[in-house]
Structure 1
Amino acid sequence: MPAPYTPSAPTGKGTDDYRCFLLDPGLTEDAFLTGIDVLPGNPDVVHHVILFQVPPGQVAEAKRIDAGSEGQGWTCFGGSGVGAVGDSIDRAPWIGAWAPGGGGTVHQKGYGVPLAAGTQVVMQVHYNLLAGTEPDTSAARLRLAPGSQDLKPLETVLLPAPVELPCRPGKTGPLCGRAAAMADVKARFGERAGALGDLLHVLCGAEPVGPVQTCTRKANAPMTIRAAAGHMHLLGRAISVQVNGRKVLDIPVWNFDDQKSRPVPPVEVKAGDDLTVTCRHDQSLRDRLPAFDGQPERYVVWGEGTTDEMCLGILLVTRP
């Protein structure tokens, strides 16, 4: 980041700020990204960081968004805001991510994420305002190899599932109804990001309500899974990813402070195969975690905030 950024709730409500910063790595030739190292400047408030590639054809769009926003960077709940919304699932523009417990990562030998000459990077930083509003200057280091090397190109596939966690029996409050909870999410994150709680039901079909959430999607093209990771928030208990019932990722005890990607033995996936992510959450953790002190009991849906929830499988794949 070119200068320190002081986070704040952009809508005036909530305890989270998602800010995107356009960074130019100065790629004058094609390259492969073979590793990243995200350096959170203020770890107390940085909840997670995602790096998105901005191909040369989208750089002008990213610069327009940046120039049209007050201050450094722009608000970016739900994604970077660059490119079409549909680009963010089966061929996500992610080139790397950091969450608590993460460190520098290097891809397996012989693999890399292709970056065309002129590509820039959007660094999305999620700030958790429950931990303060002190300035932050985060950074990302990219490990690059020449584009002329014979490396297999890596892509990211995202597997989200809806989250529907009713208030616990005997607990009441103004946010214990689903409609009120959805309205609150939209007020904090905007209509586009706030509507994901409903849109994921369109993607996944079923509407599971309760502690176990799942989504099965058909692979739209053949691929080989090389690494996998999961993402949930503080109410998470367990997460798994399966291909046709075979577990590729299995984290039976979720640790929010250990969200690193895990290399897996190659898993061949054919077009039409079932890709399933399953999460288990626990509302009783509200009584045990300091982040929920003073937070009202609520019906929890998919949301961008630290005290909201997500269920997300992340696959690093190669294509034939």
Structure 2
Amino acid sequence: MRPLPARAALIAVTCLVAGSAPAASQDYYADIRPILVENCVRCHSDDGIAWSMEDAESAYERSARIARAVSNQQMPPWLAEPGHQDYVGDLSLDEATLAVVRDWAAADFPKGDPRPDPAPPMMHHAAFAPDLSLDVLPDDGYLPDQSATDEYRCFVVDWSADESGYVTGFRAVPGNRNVAHHVVVHAVDPAMVDRFRELDAEEDGAGYRCFGGALPDRLGDRAVRAAYEERYPDGVRELDRSNFWLAHWAPGMDGHVFPEGTGIRVEPGTGLVVQMHYYSSTAPGEKDVDTRLDFMVAETVERPAFHLAQTRGDWLASKRSGTMVIPSGTKQTFEMADDLGNLVGYIAYLTQVPQDRIQALEIHSANLHMHSFGHSGEITLTHDTGRVETLLSVPRWDLGWQRDFTFTAPKLIDREALEGTRLGVRCTFENDTDDTVYGGYGSMEEMCFNFSYIAVQEAPATDPPTEGRK
């Protein structure tokens, strides 16, 4: 079995965003350093996720490493293939910026004369103002597994608001960015929170291992799953259906505000399962302490939203169903799609918008999710006219850099067009081990998911139902 990939080496340059035009001759202080300050120091700081770029001289010593990662387009960590959609916060590099870096490298990294750094950019979204903050970790913090390069650990946290509300913005503040790589927050139905707490209590130490999402890794073991379902018949399926992707954080994503006028409804008594991705190879012995979650919360929103999680349930039990099997030494592709017209009842349940008042859907994002055998994938929207639109293409998958890809303009689907409009996900896996890989919840099993943020346009209550509505 191959180990999970180390991330610390790849975090070297989460930056160098497009926008610089080539100069007649490039040097570090005049041309490269301003790009680093504008786009890199927010993560590569003394308190950041890897080596610091705050000191200009020490950053210059890594010039070859910077240029190599950028020229190979390994960095910045932007998985989306260009040419399909325009995305908010696109980190990808245009040819002009690549030329600046390549010309500098070809000239043997001229340094130039030192000069003061420009002012760094604002770290957080200008409109972000949290209404609720929640602590994630126990009082004494958490020490990541020192024997593993990567660890995915889930912690169950109470949503402390006393009344229903809508999450309209999110920020994670890791207590120790030397060991925290990313955060995913899943919301759990109030009726199932105690079941997740029970799972937490049954595993040694704070939290539980949870590579595949909100569920514990150990439920991927046949015997453990069988024992759990003796207590709770169909219990794993119930756990899986009772949580949804609420928000996430990755380096550089400080203070994310959801599309204006939208928000995700959260009820009192909801639980949050917070998946922390840790790595300790660059900071052995260091704990994560005082990690917190900040939320913007509104009493009402114009257009209630939700995260649609797309997969096939039988893929997650493939040792039994045989529906997602990747033999040793092979590359396999799996795909599925949902007809949006068939989801109207589910959408009404999630958003509490009556079915006959769902006027249109706004698809705001796409988010591909696989595990470490993922090779590539696509998320597509097939319109009721038959036109196929690629929402996201990821030709080179990297588990460590999964994120929402939010469109600069949402895809608007009128109610009359929902039936026959299909949102689909396709995943390709490559198994270079000696063992067969199955779909499932474990860290050495696979998943194929899309998560899309979708808002509902609601017709006024006085409008009569339109003919043909469901």
For the aligned pair, the TM-score class normalised by the smaller chain equals 0.5 to 0.7
For 1:58 and 1:283, locate their aligned partners in 2 and report how far apart those are by CA, in whole Å.
35
The superposition leaves residues 246-283 of structure 1 with CA deviations (integer Å, 9 ceiling, x where unpaired) of: 32222344455543312232243735644321234556
Given the alignment, which residue of 296, 308, 330 partners 1:144? 296
For 2:150 and 2:321, locate their aligned partners in 1 and report how far apart those are by CA, in whole Å.
22
Partner of 1:135: 287
Which secondary structure state, in structure 2, belongs to the residue aligned with residue 93 of structure 1? Answer: strand
Given the alignment, which residue of 379, 389, 414 partners 1:241? 379
CA contact (8 A) 1:228 1:262 kept: yes
Which secondary structure state, in structure 2, belongs to the residue aligned with residue 243 of structure 1? Answer: strand
Given the alignment, which residue of 399, 403, 406 partners 1:260? 403
CA contact (8 A) 2:149 2:280 kept: yes
Partner of 2:220: none
1:30 and 2:178 aligned: no
The superposition leaves residues 26-45 of structure 1 with CA deviations (integer Å, 9 ceiling, x where unpaired) of: 20222211122223445565
CA contact (8 A) 1:39 1:140 kept: yes
AA aligned opposite 1:275: L
AA aligned opposite 2:394: I
AA aligned opposite 2:138: P
TM-score, length-normalised on structure 1? Answer: 0.65
For 1:87 and 1:111, locate their aligned partners in 2 and report how far apart those are by CA, in whole Å.
28
* Runs of at least 5 residues in structure 2 that lack an aligned partner in the other structure: 1-136, 217-231, 348-360, 383-387, 459-470
AA aligned opposite 1:250: S
For 2:295 and 2:239, locate their aligned partners in 1 and report how far apart those are by CA, in whole Å.
23
For 2:419 and 2:195, locate their aligned partners in 1 and report how far apart those are by CA, in whole Å.
33
Higher helix residue share = 2
AA aligned opposite 1:2: P
AA aligned opposite 1:238: S
For 1:135 and 1:200, locate their aligned partners in 2 and report how far apart those are by CA, in whole Å.
41
Partner of 2:145: 8
For 1:88 and 1:221, locate their aligned partners in 2 and report how far apart those are by CA, in whole Å.
20
For 1:49 and 1:40, locate their aligned partners in 2 and report how far apart those are by CA, in whole Å.
8
Give the fraction of aligned pairs with identical amino acids, expressed as a percent: 27
Q: Which has the higher contact order (CA 8 A, sep 6+)?
A: 1
Partner of 2:265: 114
Shift of 1:316: 1.4
CA contact (8 A) 1:30 1:146 kept: no
CA contact (8 A) 1:53 1:122 kept: yes
Larger radius of gyration: 2
* Runs of at least 5 residues in structure 1 that lack an aligned partner in the other structure: 163-193, 285-295
The superposition leaves residues 186-217 of structure 1 with CA deviations (integer Å, 9 ceiling, x where unpaired) of: xxxxxxxx964446854xxx767743522113
AA aligned opposite 1:318: A
Partner of 1:317: 454
Higher strand residue share = 1
Which secondary structure state, in structure 2, belongs to the residue aligned with residue 53 of structure 1? Answer: strand
Output the aligned Cα RMSD.
4.1
For 2:442 and 2:193, locate their aligned partners in 1 and report how far apart those are by CA, in whole Å.
28
AA aligned opposite 1:142: D
CA contact (8 A) 2:214 2:243 kept: no
Partner of 1:51: 185
Given the alignment, which residue of 425, 429, 449 partners 1:277? 425
CA contact (8 A) 1:238 1:251 kept: yes
